[in-house]
Amino acid sequence: MEKQMFTDRFASVFGTESFFKKQKRIALKNCGLIDPENINDYIYADGYKALGTVLTKMTPKDVVETVKASGLRGRGGAGFPTGRKWELTAQQESDEKFVVCNADEGDPGAFMDRSVVEGDPHTVIEGMAIGGYAIGSSKGVVYIRAEYPLAIKRLIKAIDDARKENFLGKNILGSNFSFDIEIRYGAGAFVCGEETALIRSIEGLRGMPKSRPPFPAAKGLFGKPTLVNNVETWANISSIIVNGVDWFSSIGIDKSKGTKVFALAGKIVNTGLAEVPMGMTLREIIYDVGGGIPNGKKFKAVQTGGPSGGCLTDKMLDTKIDYESLMQAGSIMGSGGMIVIDEDSCMVNIAKFFLQFTQDESCGKCIPCREGTKRMLEILTRITDGEGKPGDIEKLEELGNVIKKASLCGLGQSAPNPVLSTIKNFREEYEEHVYQKKCRAVVCEKLITYTINDKCIGCSACRRACPVVAIKGAPKEAHSIQQELCIKCGKCFRSCKFHAIDKTSEAKEQK
Amino acid sequence: MSSPLAVLEAKKQQAKKNLEEIGYFSDVKIYVGMATCEIAAGSNHVMEVFQNAVKEDKSLKGVYLSQKGCAGRCNLEPTVEIYQKGKDPVKYVKVTAENAKIIIEKHIKKGEVIKEWVGK
Amino acid sequence: MSTVKIFINNKEYNVDSTYTIMKACDEIGIKIPRLCYHPKLSISSGCRICIVEVEGMRNFVASCSYPVSEGMKVHTNTDAIRQARKDILELILDNHPKDCNTCVRDEVCELQQLASSIGLRERKFEGVLRTPFVDASSPSIVNNHDKCILCGRCVRVCAQIQNVSAIDYANRGFNTVVVPAYNNPIAESVCTLCGQCVNICPTAALTEQNYTKDVFSLLNDKTKVKVAQIAPSVRVAIGEAFGIKPGNNMAREIVHALKLLGFDYVFDAQFSADLTIMEEASELLERLNGHGKLPMITSCSSGWMKALEQFYPELIENVSTCKSPMSMLSSVVKSYFADKIGKKPTEIANVAIMCCVAKKYEAKRPELAMEDGNPATDYVLTTRELAWMIKSAGIDFKNLKGMDFDAPLGFSTGAATIFGVSGGVMEAAVRTAYELATKSKMENIDVIAVRGNEGIKEGAININGTEIRVAVANGLGNASKLFEELKKDPNKYHFIEVMACPGGCIGGGGQPYAGIQDLPFDPKLVNERAKALYSSDEKNTIRRSHENPSIIQLYKEFFGKPLSEKSHKYLHTHYKQKFPKGILRKSGKEAK
């Protein structure tokens, strides 16, 4: 009964809403239920019970074994078995070790880590303290992006309160274990979410990844063994300790245990954060949790894993959400971004959007990522501008594969994913752009033709809006657009109040 | 020497006492979503309305008002939950400062749930 | 040593278990192509040229950093790897100007050689180039961003070997550049202008400020008396630029070539090295007798002088007031020698051929100017620039008969020769100081303790019953370590020699490019150059500066004695604290 209380309090409050019915809250168990700035609220909700249990009844080795047995895997993206990471760090002989919380959430549209830190900061602190106990470290660092001022404020207060209550500091709860946490701010570089770049950034250096091995578990922060886990991973720890391995591993499937928080975005009714058990299908999360596609539009694709992930089609909607299945389908779990795309979106344009992001955020250290993504972006821009040339798609594939296989860090290795997966699943759209100069979603500006239909009443609004005087027509008579003058800015389309301007993109004959 | 769990248990009792002092176990509780996303949607104005009401309106004496983190319903923010003893919690969505005043008057004071504002 | 069994291209090898794949391959004779890797620097793994395939790995691995392990199966030359290397190289070239024919590094460019060995024959991905920008603010070093391929070797050599960190990456992605802090021009930065970045740059992104055009024009100027001087280490390195094995002393060929180029007089900076020793050894004895601060630190290295003024202002009083041999000789030429040939200083032009790029900056220091305000040294050329001028003028350098330096400023002793090697100034000064102080012959003048490759060397000499403790540091990184020691025990040494470049002047920033096969400041290369200098010292019949007859004559005719009023005027200078961007002034008042 007590176990139930601990994790299912959320369900008792929110369970009636369809959005929450299929959710299972572990990392977000307290988010939306407690006052994040009141430590009493957390303690009263059985907070720090895991830490107390660990310090009273478990050896560090027991803790590592528990996390290992739970099957928890890193929630930051790569899905490395968390217990194995803990074990590797625990095995190192060193005078000093560090525990690091990666709160440098950088994927566009992802905010699960912010939500946890803002809604339940103590659960992260508790997880880190348990991690410190398990690996023999007395020093934790939270690396959090400076763009999260409220999260930082609440975390600072939580750390202060935890110190006052002796959940941090010397001889925690009267035990021999001492542990404290410092905060370091990230300055907004996406690549600093990569653990070696993050470590360099904490050290005060430019955030650039290093080659591994050596892994941070052996040589991390200031050359000392370092355990780096993501916010969501840390937020899972206390529940595993309190509720036990069997409970945790009963949630999820095969190699992916527990839950994953997803940030639902794009063309979906219920945008928001959803924590679902691993193994749920994409269909369930999009239609049951997310409420489907708004405005009666047709589902086209879902992009998982943020800018490093791939686009999956309607044929793959029954793919299970777990690390392996998503990988097999051609995408990744990533940190949990999930963007739903409907028929109004152009896949080439979407790929370009993501590549633009990774290209901007490449640290500039390794050549494939720095130079290669730039060339890919140039080719994609060319294609969406209607200047694609035969062979461009193949060039994208060749470059994409080299960047994937030869880049230094995860950013580069995954940067081509959105492009490669859209080419794989939506090749015909690319071909239409290149060979027919057509964008079927009518998104790519340069491929659009504006024409005036018979609804035109001759109000002249479009004629006045046109910056290049491409629209002719006497007042109160039907107007027309001179295509050779039109610069496709779309001002006429937006100015027309009578739906008299059509926006189309048709196959054009090859010159 | 007492075990960490025993120390924790004492802390939990103390926490309960502390919560009691601030009215946590009151019959009526109001939770306003105050994460960055909720604030961006305007929850700080909603919070202000409730804060003023609890401070100034004598009929709301003893009502417990608290902030909370985000439950994840981005498209429905700001969100407000009203807990009344013996009843299911009511979750209002897309609350505005104006709506908040009406919720106080109708729901909290008179017990009338405004169904069209409740999230589904 | 434990070994592991690995398979390289399907053949079995036992290699040291601590090796990387690259090192293992090097040992069995397969040189994997590489670009950002340098054995003396930390591993960056940024260029991805050295990738190989390892069976069982999803991605290619960088062989420079990936450790070997038991049973590992490595393939270095599969079709996939060869294609990936080509693609990566093409990505570099796509963002690199196509102006090899007009580039200063044409034929001596690592990138060019790499492209040739990788066999890139077609271009597929061309697009925009990085924004062109050239920072030519400094008299020594030019940063040409267009040609930078961001291998980061300059950044690492500056931070890890020199402990200066004047440059680092800025901006992200395609906009990444290597610049001084806050994007300041080099001239306003903490760069010490040692030029190690120039030496290690694989392309023409970092080069010396080139004065060859000005010098060619000067050589055609009939109104000027053209005087050249060459530094000790130029003569043992210039041959490399002509395909001659390192370690040949080509002083006579250089003199001959300079005469053919049109110089009226060719003097030797080794002559003024002897002069420096006379002054510096006397200054040391003065300080040892209680007149001035100890330890005394040498002042020959211009890069070190710039570092001193910005990083170690507290040591300014410890530094010898002696000008560098280059500046001493230029002063003597424009005073003593000008009188001798009946010319005004303005009618003489001094061109110094140096192994150094910081000397270009030194020549422009206002406090080293002549009384008329003109600089003592008009132009400084690096070894590389001279080699190019010789080639450009069509001089058959390898087959020149050779000529002697001109009198009276061309005669030097063995002590002066070894100025080019780390520890050489120390050794030369000790030889003279000992004999000046004890008035007796030093029996074994080879001060072995201060010779060799180590970054910091220590020794002790007994002069008149007092033990004089000396230390030698080469490379600014080692110097900073030595100064840390000195902070702990200020009385640890009496005399310290500091050279900004690893190995001393022979490893200077102006020396011929080493190319891919011999990497810059490769100990082997530096050793060959050093050996040539030591053997010239040994072969010299006069090995003590104070025994140089031309020096004796110069004092007799002009300076009187060391540290005289006249020598202070022409041979000594002063240093003061400087505040390039990035060095904070202590109080707000000073800042204004």
pLDDT tens digits for range C28-54: 999 999 999 998 899 999 999 999 999
CATH class held by domain C212-571:
alpha beta
Backbone angles phi, psi at A157, to 5 degrees: -65, -40
Contact C173 A360 (CB under 8 A): yes
- The answer on pLDDT for C589 being more than 50 is no
Q: Which CATH architecture has domain A448-504?
A: 2-Layer Sandwich (3.30)
Can you give the residue ranges of every domain in chain A? Answer: 27-250, 253-342, 347-436, 448-504
Q: How far apart are CA B40 and CA A233, in angstroms?
A: 27
**Which tokens in the block code for residue B24?**
């946590």
Provide the residue type at A201 as one letter: S
* Burial profile C419-450: b = 16 or more Cβ within 10 angstroms, e = fewer: bbbbbbbbbbbbbbbbbbbeeeebeebebebb
Phi-psi region of C525 (alpha: psi -120 to 50; beta: other; left: phi over 0): alpha
Catalytic member of C140, C320, C331, C412: C320
Q: How many CB pairs under 8 A join A and C?
A: 111
Output the pTM of the full model: 0.91
Confidence band for C107, pLDDT divided at 50, 70 and 90: confident
Contact A275 B2 (CB under 8 A): no
Question: What average pLDDT does the segment C420-439 reach?
Answer: 91
**Which residue in A375, A398, A408 is closest to C94 by CB distance?**
A375
**Which tokens in the block code for residue A230?**
């993501």
Say what the pLDDT of residue C449 is. Answer: 84
C62 touching A, CB under 8 A? yes
Catalytic member of C53, C90, C110, C283: C283
Q: Can you tell me whether residue C25 is helix, strand or coil?
A: helix
Catalytic member of C90, C240, C279, C362: C362
C-alpha angle with apex A456: A450 to A458, nearest 5 degrees? Answer: 110
Confidence band for C523, pLDDT divided at 50, 70 and 90: confident
Express each pLDDT in C341-387 by its tens digit: 999 999 999 999 999 999 999 999 999 999 999 999 999 999 999 99
| Chain A residues closer than 8 Å to C176 by CB | 363-365, 370
Say what the pLDDT of residue A12 is. Answer: 75
Report whether A304 contacts A421 (CB < 8 A): no
In angstroms, the separation between the Cα of residue B11 and the nearest Cα of chain A is 8
Closest CA to A83 of A105, A101, A104, A62: A62
Q: How far apart are CA C383 and CA C108, in angstroms?
A: 14
Homologous superfamily of A27-250:
NADH-ubiquinone oxidoreductase 51kDa subunit (3.40.50.11540)
Strand bridging mode A226-230 / A98-103: parallel
Confidence band for C588, pLDDT divided at 50, 70 and 90: very low
Numbers of helices and strands, H then E, in chain A: 23, 15
Express each pLDDT in A21-54 by its tens digit: 889 999 999 999 999 999 999 999 999 999 999 9
Contact A371 C94 (CB under 8 A): yes
Comparison of pLDDT for C541 and A51, the residue scoring more: A51
Q: How far apart are CA A372 and CA C125, in angstroms?
A: 9
Q: How far apart are CA A302 and CA A309, in angstroms?
A: 10
Q: How far apart are CA C139 and CA B71, in angstroms?
A: 62
Report whether A488 contacts A503 (CB < 8 A): no
Say what the pLDDT of residue C463 is. Answer: 87
Q: How far apart are CA A182 and CA C564, in angstroms?
A: 62
What is the DSSP secondary structure assignment for residue A222, as one 8-state letter? G
Q: Rounded to whole angstroms, what are the CA distances from A90 to A99, A199, A226, C42, C222?
A: 11, 18, 9, 27, 78
The helix or strand, by DSSP H or E, that contains position B38, with its residue range, turns out to be helix B36-40
B69 touching A, CB under 8 A? yes
| Chain C residues closer than 8 Å to A362 by CB | 172-174
**Which residue in C95, C152, C169 is closest to A371 by CB distance?**
C95
Distance of CA C478 to the CA centre of its chain: 15
Asked if residue B10 is part of any domain, the answer here is no
- The answer on pLDDT for C521 being more than 70 is no
Mutate to test the interface with A, among C174, C177, C182 (most CBs of A within 10 A): C174
What is the DSSP secondary structure assignment for residue C71, as one 8-state letter? T
Q: How far apart are CA C306 and CA B21, in angstroms?
A: 68
- The answer on pLDDT for C193 being more than 90 is yes
One of 3.30.70.100, 1.10.10.10, 3.30.930.10, 3.10.20.600 is the CATH number of A253-342, namely 3.10.20.600
A contact chains, 3+ CB pairs < 8 A:
B, C
In angstroms, the separation between the Cα of residue A15 and the nearest Cα of chain B is 10
B85 touching A, CB under 8 A? no
Can you give the residue ranges of every domain in chain C? Answer: 3-77, 134-208, 212-571
Q: Can you tell me whether residue B100 is helix, strand or coil?
A: helix
Q: How far apart are CA C410 and CA C271, in angstroms?
A: 6
**Which residue in B2, B6, B120 is closest to A17 by CB distance?**
B120
- The answer on pLDDT for C234 being more than 60 is yes
Express each pLDDT in C43-95 by its tens digit: 999 999 999 999 999 999 999 999 999 999 999 999 999 999 999 999 999 99
Q: Rounded to whole angstroms, what are the CA distances from C526 to C247, C425, C486, C519?
A: 9, 17, 28, 10
- Check if C427 is active-site: no
Kindly compute the dihedral angle of the four CA atoms of residues A165, A169, A170, A175, in this order, to the nearest 10 degrees: 60
B113 touching A, CB under 8 A? no
- The answer on pLDDT for C217 being more than 90 is yes
Confidence band for C519, pLDDT divided at 50, 70 and 90: low
Contact C172 A361 (CB under 8 A): yes
Q: Can you tell me whether residue C570 is helix, strand or coil?
A: helix
**Which residue in A362, A368, A378 is closest to C48 by CB distance?**
A368
- Check if C280 is active-site: yes
Q: How far apart are CA C453 and CA C16, in angstroms?
A: 26
Express each pLDDT in C487-505 by its tens digit: 999 999 999 999 999 999 9
What is the DSSP secondary structure assignment for residue A263, as one 8-state letter? E
- The answer on pLDDT for C516 being more than 60 is no
A3 touching C, CB under 8 A? no
Question: Half-sphere exposure (CA, 13 Å, Cβ side) for A394?
Answer: 4
Question: Half-sphere exposure (CA, 13 Å, Cβ side) for C477?
Answer: 17
Mutate to test the interface with A, among B21, B73, B82, B117 (most CBs of A within 10 A): B73
| Chain A residues closer than 8 Å to B4 by CB | 51-52, 55-56, 172-175
Closest CA to C141 of C241, C92, C211, C40: C211
Q: Tell me the average pLDDT of chain C.
A: 92
Q: Can you tell me whether residue A169 is helix, strand or coil?
A: strand
Chain C: residue whose CA lies nearest to A407:
C48
**Which tokens in the block code for residue C161?**
């070997």
Unique residue bearing structure tokens 């011929």: C512
Kindly compute the dihedral angle of the four CA atoms of residues C291, C297, C300, C301, in this order, to the nearest 10 degrees: -150
DSSP states along A124-156: HHHHHHHHHHHHT--EEEEEEETT-HHHHHHHH
Unique residue bearing structure tokens 């069509």: C394
Q: Can you tell me whether residue B72 is helix, strand or coil?
A: coil
Whether the link from the prior residue into A149 is cis, omega within 30° of 0, is: no
A396 touching C, CB under 8 A? no
Count structural domains, chain B.
1
Q: Rounded to whole angstroms, what are the CA distances from A209 to A216, A362, C479?
A: 11, 10, 30
Q: In chain A, which residues have pLDDT < 70?
A: 1-9, 509-511
Q: Which CATH architecture has domain A347-436?
A: Up-down Bundle (1.20)
- Check if C590 is active-site: no
Structural domain boundaries enclosing B73 = 26-117
Q: How far apart are CA C166 and CA C113, in angstroms?
A: 29
Report whether A401 contacts C88 (CB < 8 A): no
C78 - beta bridge partners? none
| The dihedral sign for the CA sequence A371, A377, A378, A380 | positive
List the pLDDT tens digit at each of the 120 positions of chain B: 689 999 999 999 999 999 999 999 999 999 999 999 999 999 999 999 999 999 999 989 889 999 999 888 888 999 999 999 888 889 999 999 999 999 999 999 998 999 999 987
- C134-208 maps to which CATH number? 3.30.70.20
Asked if residue B111 is part of any domain, the answer here is yes
DSSP states along C221-233: -TTSEEEEEE-HH
Contact B4 A31 (CB under 8 A): no
Q: Can you tell me whether residue A337 is helix, strand or coil?
A: strand
Asked if residue B56 is part of any domain, the answer here is yes
| CATH number of the domain where residue B73 is located | 3.40.30.10
Say what the pLDDT of residue C495 is. Answer: 94
- The answer on pLDDT for C413 being more than 50 is yes
Contact A17 B4 (CB under 8 A): no
Report whether A172 contacts A53 (CB < 8 A): no
Say what the pLDDT of residue C517 is. Answer: 54
**Which residue in C88, C172, C176 is closest to A368 by CB distance?**
C88
Say what the pLDDT of residue A335 is. Answer: 86
- Domain A253-342 and domain A347-436 have a common topology: no
Say what the pLDDT of residue C424 is. Answer: 92
Report whether C77 contacts C53 (CB < 8 A): no
Contact C127 A373 (CB under 8 A): no
Taken as a whole, chain A contains a residue count of 511
Whether the link from the prior residue into C295 is cis, omega within 30° of 0, is: yes
In angstroms, the separation between the Cα of residue A144 and the nearest Cα of chain B is 15
Catalytic member of C347, C367, C371, C538: C367
In angstroms, the separation between the Cα of residue A345 and the nearest Cα of chain B is 20
Unique residue bearing structure tokens 């609220």: A41
